Structure 1
Amino acid sequence: MIGLDAPPEALTCSRAGCTERATHRIDWRNPRIHAADRRKTWLACDEHVGYLRDFLAARDFPLEVGPIADDPTADAT
């Protein structure tokens, strides 16, 4: 498994079958099974960011979309 600290060329889109380099991160949670502080992250290329965002939004999952470089858990230094 590759983490978000992997080199950018190793980060690929989470859409099934896509092998494009990811440029966006989608942080989300399922409120029925995840505590408020628990988040999952999907990566998305430019082509699939809308598809993945809409998939999660249709299920009323709280989510945030941003560039991969933006890590909401990283220390601001």
Structure 2
Amino acid sequence: MDDPAIDALTCSARGCRAPAEWALRWNNPRRHETDRRKTWLACGEHRPSLGDFLDVRGFLREVVPVAGSPTLES
């Protein structure tokens, strides 16, 4: 990654300080408007477990590389 702001992003998994590679975009349809997206960041190791946690609840909407996440662009 060439952007220092993106390079500083870390995984959202508890206790993980690894650089974020993925943006897991999600919403809770009972609490958020359908077009609203929240973002969890994930390293390669935690992408499956964080994604599974959101997916089993029906919250996961998409997974994109951090550099391409519209919720992280200025």
Give the TM interval when normalised to the shorter protein.
Answer: 0.7 to 0.9
Consecutive aligned runs of 4 or more in structure 1 exceeding 2 Å deviation:
71-74
SS in 1 for 2:7: helix
Consecutive unaligned residues of structure 1, counting only runs of 5 or more, are none
Identity across aligned pairs (percent)? 53
Consecutive unaligned residues of structure 2, counting only runs of 5 or more, are none
Amino acid at match of 1:51: S
Amino acid at match of 1:31: P
Aligned equivalents of 1:72, 1:11: Cα separation in 2: 15
Aligned equivalents of 1:9, 1:72: Cα separation in 2: 16
Aligned equivalents of 1:65, 1:52: Cα separation in 2: 11
The equivalent of 1:33 in structure 2 is 31
Counterpart of 1:23 (choices 18, 21, 35) is 21
The equivalent of 1:55 in structure 2 is 53
Aligned residues: 70
If the length of structure 2 is used for normalisation, what is the TM-score? 0.84
Q: What is the RMSD computed on CA atoms of the aligned residues? A: 1.8
If the length of structure 1 is used for normalisation, what is the TM-score? 0.81
